[in-house]
Amino acid sequence: MSGAQHFTLVEETGSTNADLAGALRSGDQPTEGVWHVARRQTAGKGRQGRDWHDGSGNFMGSTTVAIQDGDPPPASLSFVAALAVGQAIDEALDGACRPKLKWPNDVLLDGGKVSGILLEMVGTNVVVGVGVNLDNAPSFSDRKTASLKDHGTAPSVEAFAEILASVFARYLAAWRTDGLIPILKGFVFNSLHYTGSPITVHDTDGSTITGEFFGLDNTDGALRITLADGSERTIRAGDIS
């Protein structure tokens, strides 16, 4: 464990999310605020079951949040995580390239995806998993990717873990104390989206919905879009472009 006790580090595991989920199911309660970090994952997953790139020198870690009475919806921790990852990257790069956020929780550098975030509910706890391309990024034919090294000096896994743990703790406290609306405002302020910007939603069934960005629902962060006929749709799952 690091000197500040903000993370534990293992050389290799199947999945940091699975490790914490397994601990919770067995009756153990990981300490909130401490991140479980691995140098290598052999079975990491992203949203919608996608594999997450396991690149040497990149960050792969998870933490748990114990849901308390009065907390905002657990799924909205996705926005907390995205804001925290974006700010942690900004701090690690000393502002050399400002990250942008894309609904629901993508973090981009110069238009390339640099991070993946996955939430899993286990009982009354949420396991928050984060992967960040620090040293290298995979190549895909259908989307642009990025790493911190593309825009400066990549921090070590340990250094980034400390930054992320600190920033995530601050946003988590704000989520609990001030509620979801300030978190959503911060997300939109740091995002690619603005009122009236064109947006296309790709549903899991292969269909698409095209419209204009009209904000996020204050109760849960669902995407609101205005269609060509002036009607409004609320989207709670899907990828956007």
Quote the pLDDT of residue 239. Answer: 85
Higher pLDDT, residue 6 or 44? 6
User: What domains lie within the chain, and their CATH numbers?
Assistant: 7-189 (3.30.930.10), 198-240 (2.30.30)
Percent of the chain with pLDDT over 90: 81
Check: CB of residue 116 under 8 Å from CB of residue 45.
Answer: no
* Under 8 Å between Cβ of 37 and 8: yes
pLDDT tens-digit series, residues 127-141: 999 999 999 998 887
pLDDT at 203 over 90: no
pLDDT at 2: 41
pLDDT of residue 115: 95
Over range 182-192, report the average pLDDT.
97
Per-residue confidence (pLDDT) for residue 1, from 0 to 100: 40
Tell me the pTM. Answer: 0.92
What average pLDDT does this structure show over 90-94? 95
The helix/strand/coil state of 63 is: strand
| pLDDT, mean over the chain | 91
* Least confident residue range of 3-12, 75-84, 209-218, 221-230: 3-12
Q: Per-residue pLDDT tens for 12-67? A: 999 999 999 999 999 999 999 999 999 998 876 554 455 555 677 999 999 999 99
Helix (H, G, I), strand (E, B) or coil at 88: helix
- pLDDT tens for 217-228 read 999 999 999 999
Average pLDDT (173-191) is 97
- Tokens encoding 95: 């502002």
Collapsing DSSP to helix, strand or coil, 174 comes out as helix
Question: How far apart are the C-alpha atoms of 55 and 52, rounded to whole Å?
Answer: 9
- Distance of alpha carbon 107 from alpha carbon 129, whole angstroms: 14
Q: Assess contact for 38 and 58: CB atoms under 8 A.
A: no
